[in-house]
């Protein structure tokens, strides 16, 4: 694993500068083979930036600024050389090729971060947070990623492991004395401790929904009868005329999907074809799509024309009822209906609609300044396994099973929790995580 890896760490394209990165024991030597400055990198103090030229034989490839960071005080924990060159597509590629000719290997996606993890520079949740940070599309997602990168999730996992470890040690003490069963008094104390651990585990598991929302966005479907203003609402939320709006019903035929940053939450908005009985094959196909969207939605905004009598569109369930066209006055049939009243024409009520959407999604959580721990799908699977093992351990304690059997379950829980931060090192697991990274990270 100590071979030197190299990659262009900045995005593909033209820019003022680009960074080509090298990591590994031989990073300095490889860079020195092509760098011509007043001093060699090998003699430079760590972190010092050296100006010079990169040469290919006798030919200058680019003028560059190069820095070296020495193990273990670097991102990867190995010697790292960063070459700041001009940001051209050809020049960066040529530099990368030069480094490879001198003995570096092209880095795999995420390999720099993988090395950071393997060298103990960060735990697995922090490594994953690097990717979350890069792909974050909203402030809230960014904050969650930054906190995870800081190690907030890792700390919580650490505390949970301590609790389980304490329990395990206690139970294992009984195994050493084969004739002893766990006394009722001790059993009760252990149960209390176990319940504490389970509560901590559940609290983390409960953040999975938020985690998914932050990472993938909320599928929000605008649903309703034709002509009630669904496309108008989409356009209003987007801030530009994305969908065609017209006074003839049945305007929107296909679903239209756009992602917006809605007060920090990524909303994947879907405008749909209006629901009605139709003879038209294309419109019917559109309505099929509407129904499919609704069945996969996280949130449905059921839009109706509040200026007209209650209509017959079947409510899809789990939705927010929105009465549109409040500028035209409200039909008496809607009196007292629990709904958000808006007008896409005047923009009236949009603030309240926004509040309601957030309230449904987050249940009033995430006040400014709150810590945003939000686990991802992988963490969720680990913690679920831990929860199940804890439940079996609890059952064992209640049934006063032999301590060996309880210890097995506690150990399983401990391993599952450890997997979140990468304590149980499975190569396959690492491959899966880091292959989703971009190259050069």
Ligand X SMILES: Nc1nc2c(ncn2[C@@H]2O[C@H](COP(=O)(O)OP(=O)(O)OP(=O)(O)O)[C@@H](O)[C@H]2O)c(=O)[nH]1
Instruction: Give residues in contact with ligand X (CB under 6 A).
Output: 226-232, 245-247, 249-252, 274, 324-325, 327-328, 343-345
**What is the pairing mode between strands 299-305 and 319-324?**
parallel
257 strand-pairing partners: 270
Residue 172 or 254 having the CB closest to Mg ion: 254
CB of 328 vs ligand X, minimal distance in Å: 5
CB of 239 vs ligand X, minimal distance in Å: 15
Q: Does 227 participate in binding Mg ion (rule CB under 5 A)?
A: no
Q: Is 363 exposed, middle or buried (0-12, 13-18, 19+ CB in 10 A)?
A: exposed
* HEC profile of 163-230: HHHHHHHHHHHHHCCCCCCCCHHHHHHHHHHHHHHHHHHHHHHCCHHHHHHHHHCEEEEEEECCCCCH
125, containing H or E segment: helix 124-135
Residue 201 interacting entry, from Mg ion, ligand X, none, C-beta within 5 to 8 Å by type? none
Is residue 211 within 8 Å of residue 266, measured between CB atoms?
no
Compute how many residues bind Mg ion; rule: CB under 5 A: 4
Q: What is the CA radius of gyration of the chain?
A: 29
What character string, x for contact with Mg ion (CB under 5 A) and - otherwise, covers 239-278?
------------xx--------------------------
Residue 226 interacting entry, from Mg ion, ligand X, none, C-beta within 5 to 8 Å by type? ligand X
What are the backbone dihedrals phi and psi of residue 39, each rounded to the nearest 5 degrees, phi first?
A: -130, 160
Binding span for Mg ion by CB under 5 A among 46-54, 225-233, 334-342, 385-393: 225-233
Closest residue to ligand X: CB criterion: 274
Q: Determine the Cα–Cα distance for residues 161 and 403; give it in Å rounded to an integer.
A: 19
CB of 304 vs Mg ion, minimal distance in Å: 14
Residue 247 interacting entry, from Mg ion, ligand X, none, C-beta within 5 to 8 Å by type? ligand X
What character string, x for contact with Mg ion (CB under 5 A) and - otherwise, covers 292-311?
--------------------
Nearest to 10 by CA among 74, 79, 91: 91
Residue 92 interacting entry, from ligand X, Mg ion, none, C-beta within 5 to 8 Å by type? none
Is residue 403 within 8 Å of residue 182, measured between CB atoms?
yes
Residue 121 or 230 having the CB closest to Mg ion: 230
Site residues (vs Mg ion, CB under 5 A): 230-231, 251-252
């Amino acid at each position: 694993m100590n071979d030197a890896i190299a990659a262009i760490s900045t995005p593909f394209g033209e820019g003022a500068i680009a960074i080509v990165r090298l990591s590994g024991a031989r990073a300095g030597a490889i860079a020195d083979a092509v760098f011509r400055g007043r001093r060699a990198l090998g003699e430079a103090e760590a972190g010092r930036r050296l100006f010079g030229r990169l040469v290919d034989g006798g030919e200058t490839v680019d003028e560059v600024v190069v820095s070296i960071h020495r193990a273990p005080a670097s991102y990867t924990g190995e010697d790292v050389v960063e070459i700041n060159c001009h940001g051209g597509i050809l020049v960066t590629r040529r530099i990368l090729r030069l480094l490879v000719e001198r003995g570096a290997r092209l880095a795999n996606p995420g390999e720099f971060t993988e090395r950071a993890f393997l060298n103990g520079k960060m735990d697995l949740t922090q490594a994953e947070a690097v990717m979350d940070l890069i792909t974050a599309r909203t402030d809230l997602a960014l904050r969650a990623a930054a906190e995870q990168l800081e190690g907030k999730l890792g700390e919580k996992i650490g505390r949970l492991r301590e609790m389980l470890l304490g329990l395990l040690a206690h139970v294992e003490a009984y195994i050493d004395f084969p004739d002893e069963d766990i006394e009722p008094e001790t059993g009760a104390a252990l149960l209390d401790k176990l319940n504490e651990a389970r509560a901590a585990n559940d609290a983390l598991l409960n953040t999975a929904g938020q985690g998914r929302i932050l990472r993938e966005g909320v599928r929000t479907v605008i649903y309703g009868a034709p002509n009630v203003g669904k496309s108008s609402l989409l356009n209003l939320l987007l801030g530009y005329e994305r969908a065609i709006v017209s006074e003839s019903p049945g305007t929107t035929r296909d679903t239209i999907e756009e992602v917006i940053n809605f007060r920090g939450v990524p909303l994947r908005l879907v405008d749909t074809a209006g629901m009605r009985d139709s003879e038209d094959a294309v419109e019917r196909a559109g309505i099929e799509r509407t129904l499919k969207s609704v069945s996969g939605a996280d949130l449905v905004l059921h839009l109706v024309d509040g200026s007209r009598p209650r209509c017959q569109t079947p409510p899809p369930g789990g939705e927010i009822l929105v009465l549109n066209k409040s500028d035209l006055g409200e039909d008496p049939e809607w009196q007292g209906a629990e709904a958000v009243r808006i007008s896409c024409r005047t923009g009236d009520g949009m603030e309240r609609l926004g509040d309601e959407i957030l309230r449904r999604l987050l249940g009033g959580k995430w006040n400014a300044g709150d810590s945003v721990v939000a686990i991802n799908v992988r963490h969720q699977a680990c913690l679920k396994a831990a929860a199940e093992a804890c439940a079996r351990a609890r059952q064992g304690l209640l049934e006063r099973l032999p301590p060996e059997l309880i210890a097995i379950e506690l150990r399983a829980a401990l391993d599952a929790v450890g997997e979140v931060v990468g304590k149980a090192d499975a190569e396959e697991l690492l491959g899966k995580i880091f292959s989703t990274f971009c190259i050069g990270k």
